[in-house]
């Protein structure tokens, strides 16, 4: 019931009670008088009726004011203090009560604040002790996170129900995760608490787990299984699955049960394509050569067995041999070229220190060619993006040609920075080379120390987006080949992770989920602490979707296992294809230029829908945002039918005596720092923090399950003034 309505009803009841008591007292007094006195009283009352009515109204007004003051002091004041105490105990220990009510209650509020200060001091000391005690555990966690981020393979750890407990960024890349809908990515299908069955066919994974269980029952030393899957983006991934056994059973033969599993992922698409291409080339060459070899053999055998055949027949057989050998030679040349093309992309371009490239090239040249080398000068801070295998082959091939063709017996390396280009020099003392020699060496297949390659130096340069320059020495001084190579930034394995709010390392693991109950369609009966939530917010061109206003930004963050997953957020600008109201632009600061080239809502909503799958939606004034989503149901065919909780309504449930339930006001009460206000992701993060702090407050009010929260919010029918 509305608080003002409750006060009005209480005031009416109070005034009615006072009026009733006065009427009863007057009636008793009147009947106690003599008849003559009763007549005089009635005459006085009749002559002074108007004055008496005014005095009665004035008296009732004074009583009403007195009642209101008493209510504020002795009812609302203590209730406000009680709400402050609950916030202090359940959500925000740093909250302090604003003294309200009569002097005695104000003194009590000050005493509670003093007690809170003392308790907070004790808590800080306890936290310091806990921090020191858990320092070693945190160090181990950081080592785990560092190890996971450096692994070249994707890793997923799941519980037996298929919920993801741990993953690394490589796993996201393997499954083609992308935050940009235009990339065809899946937003964040790999995420804590998400189902692995959205990525891997359930029957295939179940079959693999059955195979693991069978091997465990037979006490086989290696229970792991391996299989290949296809991703949504058409990639082939080799999966190796290993079981996580339940604790307390040291030996598989004693009936160990599977509590979860670890999947290592390797993208084999490139290797598969290369193997297929090689097999096709080999098959084409063998099948195409079979007939030619048969013709040659028949012609040769005929010439051997019939040496005295006529001249015309003899010449005919010789012509057959000549034509078929030419065809074989041409087919072999095509095979070599095709094989060289496949080799160009066999080794990926990787970021590598220039000094490491030089060290590798020096070892190969000295070991295979026997030519001594040294480094004249090298910038040890230069990083290159190179295919180290083919680049070192190119350097070794040039060294071999210099040794064999020019008698060079000594080589020198030099590495320097020139703007955004790295200059890698291979220098030697001696006479200048003719320009034609460099051209011939560029176009000829590389060879060094008995290792031949179908690639040319020009192929390697094109692969790297590089160039080579020949610089002739003067007066028999040093001559050099200078490779002009693009530089790379010395940042390794970042993979586009954005770390927010000062976090030192992304949290990609949550082993508590091993004990998380499986999610079922019967969400209403589950405790709030056991559910997964998507907290979201939108920014729009205006406030009226029915009049054509559109979404221009969506931001969201997931809550899993009572943790806000700041590194699994969703954020996307949207081109509304309509003007932005000036008042709205003043609020959120999003301009038309910022939206130019962004995807439209029809492209964004399927990605956001997938991000929200299997979760409960949470928003502040969520009805506003949902209305914009519902307006697109007919066009996109997507319906957001998940349960929804509104922190605005829950705030009214928890704190009905507070003046404001705006996002900033609620955040201030619960000790949540407001950052990036009026950005979709910023507001979603703040709302997520608020909701997490509301959960224990709701429990203190007897609201434990999703059904409890929904029913409590449905009873709130107030209009909140912002």
The rounded Cα 697 to chain-centroid distance in angstroms is 29
End-to-end Cα separation, the chain, in angstroms: 20
Cβ–Cβ under 8 Å, residues 181 and 604? yes
For 465, other C-beta atoms within 10 Å of its C-beta total 11
Nearest to 666 by CA among 648, 641, 645, 644: 648
Locate 670 and state its tokens.
């619960």
> Which of the 8 DSSP states describes residue 497?
P
The rounded Cα 355 to chain-centroid distance in angstroms is 35
φ, ψ for residue 100 (rounded to 5)? -150, 160
Nearest to 536 by CA among 357, 687, 337: 687
Q: How far apart are CA 33 and CA 297, in angstroms?
A: 150
CA 369, 375, 380 angle in degrees (round to 5)?
A: 125
How many Cα neighbours within 13 Å face the side chain of 32? 6
State the sign of the Cα–Cα–Cα–Cα dihedral 323, 325, 329, 334.
positive
Burial 288-313 (b: 16+ CB within 10 A, else e): ebeebeebbeebeebeeeeeeeeeee
H helix or E strand, kind and range, residue 462 = helix 457-464
Catalytic residues: 678
- The neighbouring-strand residues paired with 383 are 353, 488
Locate 89 and state its tokens.
């105990």
Cβ–Cβ under 8 Å, residues 653 and 681? no
What's the farthest any 2 CA atoms get from each other in the chain?
173
């Amino acid at each position: 019931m509305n608080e003002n309505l409750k006060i009005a009803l209480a005031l009416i009841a109070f005034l009615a009670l006072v009026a009733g008591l006065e009427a009863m007292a007057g009636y008793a007094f009147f009947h106690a008088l003599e008849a003559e006195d009763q007549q005089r009283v009635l005459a006085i009352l009749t002559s002074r009726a108007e004055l008496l009515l005014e005095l009665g109204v004035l008296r009732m007004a004074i009583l009403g004011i007195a009642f209101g003051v008493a209510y504020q002091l002795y009812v609302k004041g203590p209730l406000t203090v009680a709400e402050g105490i609950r916030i202090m105990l359940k959500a925000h220990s740093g909250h302090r009560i604003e003294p309200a009510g009569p002097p005695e209650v104000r003194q009590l509020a000050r005493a509670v604040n003093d007690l809170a200060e003392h308790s907070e001091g004790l808590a800080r000391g306890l936290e310091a002790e806990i921090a020191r005690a858990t320092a070693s555990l945190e160090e181990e966690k950081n080592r785990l996170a560092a190890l996971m981020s450096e692994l070249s393979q994707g890793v997923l750890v799941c519980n037996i129900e298929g919920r993801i407990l741990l993953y690394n960024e490589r796993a996201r890349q393997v499954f083609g995760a992308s935050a940009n809908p235009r990339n065809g990515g899946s937003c964040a299908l790999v995420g804590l608490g998400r189902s692995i069955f959205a990525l891997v066919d359930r029957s295939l994974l179940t079959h693999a787990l059955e195979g693991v269980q069978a091997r465990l029952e037979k006490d086989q030393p290696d229970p792991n299984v391996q299989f290949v899957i296809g991703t949504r983006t058409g990639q082939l991934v080799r999966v190796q699955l290993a079981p996580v056994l339940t604790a307390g059973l040291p030996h598989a033969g004693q009936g160990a049960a599977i509590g979860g599993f670890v999947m290592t992922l390797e993208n084999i698409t490139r290797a598969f394509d290369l193997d297929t291409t090689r097999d096709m080339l080999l098959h084409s060459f063998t099948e195409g050569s079979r007939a030619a070899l048969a013709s040659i053999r028949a012609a040769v055998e005929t010439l051997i067995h019939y040496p005295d055949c006529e001249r015309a027949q003899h010449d005919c057989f010789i012509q057959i041999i000549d034509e078929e050998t030419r065809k074989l030679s041409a087919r072999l040349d095509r095979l070599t070229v095709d094989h060289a093309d496949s080799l160009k992309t066999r080794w990926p371009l990787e970021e590598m220190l220039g000094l490491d490239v030089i060290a590798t090239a020096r070892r190969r040249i000295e070991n295979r060619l026997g030519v001594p080398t040294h480094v004249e000068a090298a910038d040890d801070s230069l990083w290159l993006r190179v295919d180290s295998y083919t680049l070192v082959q190119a350097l070794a091939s040039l060294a071999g040609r210099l040794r064999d063709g020019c008698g060079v017996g000594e080589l020198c390396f030099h590495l320097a920075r020139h703007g955004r280009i790295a200059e890698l020099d291979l220098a030697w003392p001696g006479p200048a080379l003719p320009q034609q020699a460099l051209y011939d060496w560029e176009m000829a297949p590389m060879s060094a120390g008995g290792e031949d390659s179908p690639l040319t130096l020009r192929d390697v340069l094109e692969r790297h987006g590089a160039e080579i320059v020949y610089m002739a020495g003067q007066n028999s001084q040093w001559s050099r080949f200078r490779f002009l190579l693009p530089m790379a930034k010395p940042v390794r394995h970042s993979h586009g992770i954005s770390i927010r709010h000062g976090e030192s390392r992304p949290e990609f693991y949550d082993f508590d989920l091993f004990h998380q109950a499986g999610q079922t369609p019967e969400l209403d009966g589950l405790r709030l602490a056991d559910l997964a939530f998507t907290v979201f917010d939108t920014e729009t061109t205006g406030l009226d979707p029915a009049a054509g206003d559109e979404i221009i930004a969506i931001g969201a963050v997931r809550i899993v296992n009572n943790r806000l997953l700041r590194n699994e957020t969703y954020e996307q600008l949207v081109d509304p294809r309509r003007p932005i109201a000036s008042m709205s632009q003043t609020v959120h600061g999003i301009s038309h230029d910022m939206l130019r080239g962004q995807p439209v809502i029809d492209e964004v909503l399927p990605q956001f829908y997938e991000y929200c799958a299997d979760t409960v939606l949470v928003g502040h004034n969520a009805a506003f945002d949902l209305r914009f989503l519902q307006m697109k149901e007919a066009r996109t065919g997507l319906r957001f039918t998940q349960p929804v909780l509104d922190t605005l309504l829950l705030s009214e449930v928890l704190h009905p005596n507070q003046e404001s339930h705006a996002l900033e006001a609620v955040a201030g009460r619960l000790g949540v720092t407001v950052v990036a206000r009026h950005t979709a992701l910023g507001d979603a993060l703040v709302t997520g923090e608020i909701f997490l702090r509301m959960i224990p407050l709701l429990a203190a009010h007897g609201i434990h399950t999703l059904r409890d929260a929904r029913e409590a919010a449905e009873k709130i029918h107030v209009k909140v003034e912002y």
